Amino acid sequence: MAATDERVVQLTMPGNCTFLVGLPTTREGFNASRALDGRGYATNFLGGWPQYQVQFVDNLRMLSHLAMRLGIDFVEQTDCGALRAAFDNPDRPIVILMSHTSQGAFEMNGKLIDQRQMLNTVPVGFSGVFDIFACEPNELAEELVSTRRDCLIRFLPRNVDPISWLVYFQSVFRLLYIGQHSYLSASEAVTIALINHARRPMKPTKSISDAISAFLTANNQHSAPHQGEPPPIDPRHSATLLDRFDHIQKSNRLSKTLAIGILVGTFLVTLYFAFLYQNDIKSVSFILGGNFLSLLVIAGWLRRIWLEGTTLDILCVLLQNLPPREAVQVLATFYNGTLDRRVG
């Protein structure tokens, strides 16, 4: 469609964007999310509101302050009415929604909204970009693609971690502020830049290396990028790699939950023994010192899990949005420049 082509190249300023958050951002909203019969986003945080505030809300505040300084309409506690209003503003054709899904329903301001109601919220005549950041919004996205043909839909057909993507959006908005990008080109540039940045701090696990190595080998791209016409890409190999990435991410989420549980348990045990031996300064010092070392180890573990998960998310974006040959070339560069060098 010609309209789609214009959106790909049209320059975008931050003032053309609306960023809506359907996830809880207050203690009251967090409690309402936990009351959604185990289906709310808040149930993922075993440490309760304190953990959620540190890991999500505080990072969201950094994004909101930046967004408002740049002129982005940043909307919290988003319900269907606020989402509909965003689509009705012709000066802001870029609408970004960060939410959570459970059994096909979207979490919006402490309520679960079914797919049909979400679909009706998007006007038939909307001709901008609707970027959906939620776990596997496949059914809604596919329905929007078929019924809202003037609208460009962006989504990830897999689980996403909102915390990881807050940093991503900070970079996208800063790049838009320069005034030389469309929203889509800024998103692609940040994705590639984050992959390059991941070469320094990340020590990838062998599972990622094996997955990419098998994919590159199957497509005859295991060595440096080809000169001339590259070999064709088998879409089945891309699907297999995405499945392996998804399996690794599920393992990471389990490890993250375990690490957080150990962190909270260690903290509570330390408090108990510190209170028990409160009159023995030497014992208290020993207990606190041991706890500090344990926290450092767990923090390092969580950092590795977060970096690995973010990198996998970015690689999946490339596989699903770049042309197959370009995606393979990026994976080959990433593998040969990072993974093959660090994982034996």
Full 3-state SS string of 76-130: CCCCHHHHHHHHCCCCCCEEEEECCEECCEEEECCEEECHHHHHHHCCCCCCCEE
The fraction of the chain above a pLDDT of 70, given in percent, is 67
41 confidence band (pLDDT: 50, 70, 90): very high
73 confidence band (pLDDT: 50, 70, 90): very high
Averaged pLDDT, 34-61: 89
Distance of CA 118 to the CA centre of its chain: 21
More confident residue, 158 or 197: 158
178 confidence band (pLDDT: 50, 70, 90): confident
C-alpha distances (whole Å) from 2 to each of 9, 28, 172, 216 are 11, 45, 25, 35
- 228 sits in the region (left: phi over 0; alpha: psi -120 to 50; else beta) called left
* pLDDT tens track for 4-13: 446 555 788 9
202 confidence band (pLDDT: 50, 70, 90): very low
143 confidence band (pLDDT: 50, 70, 90): very high
- Token pair of 163 as six digits: 């915390």
- Rounded CA separation 213/205 (Å): 13
In the predicted model, what is the mean pLDDT of the chain?
78
More confident residue, 326 or 125: 125
- Token pair of 7 as six digits: 């959106």
- Rounded CA separation 95/315 (Å): 23
| Closest-CA residue to 132 (of 163, 106, 107, 96) | 96
260 confidence band (pLDDT: 50, 70, 90): confident
- Rounded CA separation 33/13 (Å): 33
pLDDT at 241 over 80: no
- Rounded CA separation 80/338 (Å): 44
pLDDT at 342 over 50: no
Element (H, E) at 223: none
* pLDDT tens track for 208-233: 667 777 766 766 654 444 444 455 55
| Closest-CA residue to 166 (of 36, 40, 57) | 57
Averaged pLDDT, 246-263: 73
Q: Which residues pair with 153 in a beta bridge?
A: 130
